[in-house]
Structure 1
Amino acid sequence: MANDDDAAAAAAATETTRDEESPTDHKTLLKSHALFQYILNTSVYPREAPWMKELRRITAKHPWGGMASTPDEVQLISMLLKLMNAKKAMEIGVFTGYSLLATALALPDDGQILALDINRQNYSLGLPVIQKAGVAHKIDFREGPAMPILDQLVSKEENKGTFDFVFVDADKDNYIHYHERILQLVRVGGVVAYDNTLWCGSVAPSPEDEPLPPEALVYTETMINLNRALAADPRIELSQLSIADGLTLCRRLY
């Protein structure tokens, strides 16, 4: 039978504080916000590194804070990197660097991350925290459109098959174009993770769902086409997860 201390600990574990709220709280396909918050308060926030918490709070104050990956999704990616013993990663779409910091923390000290984003200003918000965490030396940040950089990498044989992991959370229209290039750069057995692949659940709406505003449907067809293409690609095996608003993991077979 639980004693008073156990009850107090349980209450503390599930307590929702205003401090933990963020613009990414809507990015879940769970049936209730309360269930999502339970996961965060029970399994994510208690184990969150102090630098991750600091950067999450900084990102929450950004006008576009909702673009950030959710804390539970970032926790999953961090564990996946460790399970893979990954040493070389790429992130396309960095924003303030919240998921990038998680990747840098998960890689060994001699790990490398190529980070691509069109906006250095947003990344500069998170850079002091990344430096404080002691992992800035693992990151090679390059500002600009990702496609020319990927084409440059693919043009050199020494780059092919050298990446263990790639996380894509950038311009959705280019996901399918990134895919062709990334598959040349990631090693056989390596993993590519595509974010937002269920796009707020709009790829398969239910009559019981509340109608989404038109602006929320802008990439619905894009994601439907991407999901169809990934499912038909014999070069990968995949798993589409309902974490956040959809995360598809693709493992290169050959």
Structure 2
Amino acid sequence: MMAASSLNHKSRIFHAPILEYILEKNAYPKEHEQLKELREVTAEKYGEMSRMNVPVDEAQFLSMLLKIMNAKKTMEIGVFTGYSLLATALALPDDGHITAIDVKKEAYETGLPFIQKAGVEHKINFIHSDALSVLDDLINAEEEASFDFIFVDANKEDYMKFHEKVMKLVKIGGIIAYDNTLLLGAVAYEQGDEKFDELPEFIRRIKDSVIQFNDFLVSDHRVESSLLSISDGLTLCRRLY
């Protein structure tokens, strides 16, 4: 068994032995070969930063969701080295299409060889740019209500801005998924709590933005939403109208 401290998993919600059980007994045995290679290369190259990719169990959940939805046209905002991007590309049909947006091309190029090796590069349109401007371009290009699924895993302080734009781009009945909405548990801790003080400074700094976004979604009647305790928190929003 792998030591829990080396699992490089974002969640602090579950105790380490439970995470270890989920990964070792369920997630890792089903992991695609190129996903495993990408995960290992990312950990070797980026160290602690490799946690910016979604963990294996979350990627497998999203893959199953996409298949259940029969999704064909998707978007990913925030790519890093592309673990979730590759998982999505593997889940979509051969004529599926992913618009992938990130300001850091170098990280994406780390994962590109594994995407190519898996034979799914043709499904991906990577755009090296600020996401908000790309979303405006897509809206202006009459791409409104054309995406089946949109995964948002970029600057958490911009989640509210992303939401108003992707709500125009996702189909009625389509899904928007927001990652890190529990923020290592920070959303449940008060300043001065021992666990809160142990969190990284940047997590403590963006806590209020994530809480405000979570509160907003509860009152947004345009969607039905569910905040899942998988990984670091994953909120699914289904557009109603």
Q: Normalising by the residue count of structure 1, what TM-score does the alignment of the two structures yield? A: 0.89
Name the aligned partner's letter for residue 46 of structure 1.
Answer: P
**Is residue 2:222 matched to residue 1:235?**
yes
Structure-2 residue corresponding to 1:144: 129
% identical equivalent positions: 49
SS in 2 for 1:234: coil
Match of 1:57 among 40, 43, 46: 40
SS in 1 for 2:226: strand
Match of 2:181 among 171, 183, 197: 197
Once superposed, what is the RMSD of the aligned Cα atoms? 1.7
**Is residue 2:96 matched to residue 1:111?**
yes
Name the aligned partner's letter for residue 211 of structure 1.
Answer: D
Change (3 A) 1:138 1:34: same
Separation of aligned partners in 1, 2:116 and 2:197: 43
- Structure 1: 5+ residue runs without aligned partners? 1-14
Where do 1:81-160 residues align within 5 Å?
A: 81-157=66-142, 159-160=143-144
CA contact (8 A) 2:12 2:185 kept: no
- Structure 2: 5+ residue runs without aligned partners? none
Post-superposition offset of 1:66? 1.8
Separation of aligned partners in 2, 1:53 and 1:47: 10
Where do 1:214-253 residues align within 5 Å?
A: 214-253=201-240
Separation of aligned partners in 1, 2:128 and 2:223: 29
**Is residue 2:5 matched to residue 1:16?**
no
CA contact (8 A) 2:10 2:55 kept: no
Structure-1 residue corresponding to 2:24: 41
Post-superposition offset of 1:26? 4.1
Highest CA radius of gyration, 1 or 2?
1
Q: Normalising by the residue count of structure 2, what TM-score does the alignment of the two structures yield? A: 0.93
Post-superposition offset of 1:209? 4.0
Separation of aligned partners in 1, 2:97 and 2:73: 5
Match of 2:146 among 157, 162, 177: 162
SS in 2 for 1:166: strand
